[in-house]
Amino acid sequence: MHDIRAIRENPDAFDAALARRGLAPVAADILAIDTARREKILAAETAQAEQNKASKKIGKAKASGDEAEFDRLRALVADKKAEIAQLNEAAKAEDARLQEMLMGLPNLPLDDIPDGADEADNVELHRWGTPRAFAFDPKEHYDLPAVQAGMDFQTAAKLAGSRFVVLKGAVARLHRALAQFMLDTHTTDNGLTEVNAPVLVREEMMYGTGQLPKFGEDSYQTREGWWLIPTSEVTLTNTVSDTILDAADLPRRMTAHSLCFRSEAGSAGRDTAGMLRQHQFEKVEMVSITTPDAGRDELERMTKCAEGILERLGLPYRTVVLCTGDVGFGARRTHDIEVWLPGQNTYREISSVSLCGDFQARRMNARYRPADGGKPEYVHTLNGSGLAVGRCLIAVLENGQEEDGSVTLPQALLPWLGGKTRLTADGELV
């Protein structure tokens, strides 16, 4: 959420930043509501002072036997009480309008991210690895003989409908091994604290990280009112909601492996084949809570943590910075890491690492106490995939495929696969 004081101080800069996202000016509308709200608050405070003044005089009028003055003052107090209640209710209504407007506006992009309309305008930062030259036409993951027995879309459709998959046998073990490899790398080598948190959350948690109110159709809600998390960013980030941390406790770096749920609203017809875009999937998430001055360095650190997973697996990738038209709702700057998928002959997103500034912290009321003991300030939050497990499985399968239908597996996974190095064309680990 945005700082109303910053909008008051420089409305033109606020509109200019939103314009980079392709949005129309709104500062004037925001300030009109804010002005009406403040006027009503001031009027209520003035009426309260008048009520207090009259209340003090009532006793004196009663003691002096001035019944007329007593009745006048008592009527005045009653009128002011009603007026105050009316003004407070009006101020509350204006505040609700203001909060609704601010909650619906995206974060402001950093000055140094590129302008652009969509993903075509994203700017590549660097590449790692060289895509393998195949002596045959590489297949997509779902067409590989090695996975035919272990990747069952037909049974999943019977159980749950489209965009689900049942993983079995060696493929299920490989999927699990990838998640464990990521978690162990992040906790042992990257210094993140592992967290196991609920996948059902209260509505205010979804508001806190920006999934609500604007993107409610992208997630699932239960009859009891809980929401299924679209990513454990929601739970990890909200662990500090309504909290004042000590500066000495920052940065707080967390990771979690969880189920994630997305309705994929608006994505009809996109990536329907295979398990690239599913309603239920698994992800290893990274979240950092830090001070404002450390946010940008933390973004670079988290990006390297995600890239490091791909490098250990020997998977070629490229990292891009998202343009203003593609950056997410809650982010100020985002690095997308795209892994090479030979079956599609292109790079596909496998991680987004985002710096959110104090945008989420204001929504969650998450603050820290500076080391010098000054007034509490809002923390800065970051989140990123480290990585999407299903997409990593796809990349391992496609990049390791052999002409005989088998798959050569990354050496980095040996400790999690019992020393097995290959998935045979019959779907056995050997």
Residue 5 a catalytic site member: no
350 is an annotated ligand-binding site residue: yes
**pLDDT range class, residue 270, cuts 50, 70, 90:** low
As given in the structure block, the two tokens for residue 366 are: 């998450």
Set out the domains of the chain in order of their start, with CATH numbers. Answer: 4-103 (1.10.287.40), 119-423 (3.30.930.10)
Q: CA-CA distance, 363 to 220, in Å (whole number)? A: 21
Whether the per-residue pLDDT at 265 is higher than 70: the answer is: no
| Model confidence pLDDT, tens digit, residues 372-391 | 888 999 999 999 999 999 99
What pTM was estimated for this model as a whole?
0.93
Question: Which residue in the list 352, 363, 398, 402 is annotated as catalytic?
Answer: 352
| Model confidence pLDDT, tens digit, residues 205-255 | 999 999 999 899 999 999 999 999 999 999 999 999 999 999 999 999 999
263 is an annotated ligand-binding site residue: yes
Mean pLDDT across the chain: 95
288 is an annotated ligand-binding site residue: no
- Residue 71 is predicted with a pLDDT of 80
| Model confidence pLDDT, tens digit, residues 108-131 | 999 999 999 999 999 999 999 999
Give percent of the chain above pLDDT 70. Answer: 99
406 is an annotated ligand-binding site residue: no
67 is an annotated ligand-binding site residue: no
349 is an annotated ligand-binding site residue: yes
Q: CA-CA distance, 79 to 47, in Å (whole number)? A: 10
262 is an annotated ligand-binding site residue: yes
Residue 262 a catalytic site member: yes
**pLDDT range class, residue 64, cuts 50, 70, 90:** confident
Question: Which residue in the list 20, 253, 262, 333 is annotated as catalytic?
Answer: 262
* Positive or negative torsion for Cα 1, 213, 333, 112: negative
As given in the structure block, the two tokens for residue 265 are: 């609203």
Question: Which residue in the list 391, 398, 402, 406 is annotated as catalytic?
Answer: 391
Residue 204's identity, in one-letter code, is E
Name the helix (H) or strand (E) containing 185. helix 169-188
Percent helix, strand, coil in the chain, to 5, is 45, 20, 35
Q: How many CB atoms lie within 10 A of CB 167?
A: 19
Q: Is residue 378 within 8 Å of 362, Cβ to Cβ?
A: yes
264 is an annotated ligand-binding site residue: yes
258 is an annotated ligand-binding site residue: no
383 is an annotated ligand-binding site residue: yes
Question: Which residue in the list 8, 176, 277, 369 is annotated as catalytic?
Answer: 277
Residue 252 a catalytic site member: no
Widest CA span of the chain, in angstroms? 109
Q: Is residue 387 within 8 Å of 306, Cβ to Cβ?
A: yes
Residue 338 a catalytic site member: no
Which residue is listed with tokens 């980030």? Answer: 237
- Residue 381 is predicted with a pLDDT of 98
Residue 124 a catalytic site member: no
55 is an annotated ligand-binding site residue: no
219 is an annotated ligand-binding site residue: no
Question: Which residue in the list 349, 377, 422, 428 is annotated as catalytic?
Answer: 349
Q: Is residue 368 within 8 Å of 247, Cβ to Cβ?
A: yes
As given in the structure block, the two tokens for residue 381 are: 């939050």
Whether the per-residue pLDDT at 90 is higher than 90: the answer is: yes
Question: For residue 418, with 0-12 CB atoms within 10 Å meaning exposed, 13-18 middle and 19 or more buried, which class applies?
Answer: exposed
Per-residue buried b or exposed e for 122-143, using 16+ beta carbons within 10 Å of the residue's own CB: beeeeeebebeeeeeebbbbbe
Q: Is residue 98 within 8 Å of 4, Cβ to Cβ?
A: yes
Q: CA-CA distance, 35 to 29, in Å (whole number)? A: 10
Rounded to a whole number of angstroms, the distance between the first and last alpha carbons of the chain is: 52
What CA–CA distances, in Å, run from 405 to 175, 236, 377? Answer: 19, 40, 57
Whether the per-residue pLDDT at 267 is higher than 90: the answer is: no
Cβ neighbors of 221 (< 8 A, separation 6 or more) are: 227, 228
Q: CA-CA distance, 338 to 319, in Å (whole number)? A: 6
Q: Are strands 193-194 and 252-261 parallel, antiparallel or unpaired?
A: parallel
